Chains A and B, each alone.
Chain A
Amino acid sequence: MTEDLLISLIHIVVPILIIAASIVAIYLKDLIAAAIAVAAMSLLLSLEFFILQAPDVAIAEAGVGACLTTAILIIAIKSTKRMEDEA
């Protein structure tokens, strides 16, 4: 009973954190900080896939989303501008 309650609580908390990380990634002007926020969103999404009992999707999301995409984004930001212009 308590385990079911805990799982339900995680199912409520983790999507809220995913949405919060996505909104933070949109509003940050420092692009490296935005890339880190996207990585946090991807890691939380991987956790959500795992507690929805899809472990292979979780492994793929953790490998591609949280690690490789962040590396590619940070390499691209380092060779261009770091701060976003005020539009």
Chain B
Amino acid sequence: MSGMSKIVKTITSIAFPFVMIYGLYVILHGHLTPGGGFQGGAVVASACAMIVVAFGSIWTMKKIKENQLSILESIGAIGFIVFAFLGLIILFDNSGIFFKNVFANSVYLFGQSVEYASTTANINTAGTLPLMNIAVGLKVIAGLFVIVLVMAYASNKIKERGD
């Protein structure tokens, strides 16, 4: 069983980029709009599950292995805890507290101050929160996608063996 019919594959190829872009938008705007790392990661993992259903798990397993997804998930977890421990480093001013938002109102990435008055939302704010959202999103994408991929692949293997 290598996927479904040509109609399903074509529609999946058209719909996949839009779902992917929406999920990445939800992750990257986690500090401005509803959603965040988990919600956007669930949307992106749904897009990847759609690929698994349409093109078959064997085809998908040729493209990406579960070891690579495991490494990606570990990178997400380590990134989150590194950003949390960054608050303990004395290098930044006002630091020394676990989970302290050291990048807020600094010169670094995502470090601009939030302006008062009703302006357009500035994505380059909020310090370590967007970075933590990206780390959580990476972990959720890899974790949920590897569940669907390995389950589909294992059920395919059982069916090939003749049970």
Please give the residue numbers on chain A whose beta carbons come within 8 Å of chain B beta carbons, in ascending order: 55-56, 59-60, 63-64, 67-68, 71-72, 75-76, 78-79
Per the bound structure, the CA–CA distance linking A78 and B158 in Å amounts to 11
Complex contact B38–A68 (CB within 8 A): no
Q: Mark B33-67, 1 if CB is under 8 A from A, else 0.
A: 01110111011011001101100000000000000
Which of chain B's residues have a CB closer than 8 A to the CB of A55? 34-35
> Which residues on B sit within 8 Å (CB–CB) of A63?
39, 42-43, 45-46
Whether the pair B148, A71 counts as a contact (CB closer than 8 A) is: yes
Given A56-B36, A59-B26, A59-B34, answer yes or no on A75-B46 (Cβ-Cβ < 8 Å): no
* Of listed A55, A76, A78, A79, residue having the most chain B CB within 10 A: A79
Binding site for A on B (CB under 8 A): 26, 34-36, 38-40, 42-43, 45-46, 49-50, 52-53, 144, 147-148, 151-152, 154-155, 158-159
A78 CA to B34 CA in the complex, in Å?
A: 36
> Is the CB–CB distance between B35 and A72 below 8 Å?
no
Contact A68 B45 (CB under 8 A): yes
A76 vs B40: C-alpha distance when bound (angstroms)? 25
Taking A56-B36, A59-B42, A63-B43 as known contacts, 13 extra A-B pairs with beta carbons closer than 8 A to each other, sorted by chain A number, are A56-B39, A59-B35, A59-B40, A60-B38, A60-B42, A63-B42, A67-B50, A68-B45, A68-B148, A71-B52, A71-B148, A78-B155, A79-B154
Closest 7 pairs (CB-CB, A-B): A63-B42, A79-B155, A67-B46, A55-B34, A59-B39, A56-B34, A71-B49
Cα of A56 to Cα of B50 in the assembled complex, Å: 22
Q: List 5 A-B contacts (CB under 8 A).
A: A60-B39, A64-B144, A68-B147, A72-B148, A79-B158
CB contacts (< 8 Å) of A64 on chain B: these are: 42, 144
* Minimum CB–CB distance for B125 against chain A, Å: 19
A68 touches B34 (CB 8 A): no
Whether B35 contacts A56 by the Cβ 8 Å rule is yes
Q: What residues of chain B lie closer than 8 Å to A68, measured between beta carbons?
A: 42, 45-46, 49, 144, 147-148
Residues of chain A lying within 8 A (CB to CB) of residue B152: 75
CB distance from A19 to the nearest CB of B (A): 25
Among B26, B39, B52, B148, the most chain A Cβ lie within 10 Å of the Cβ of: B39
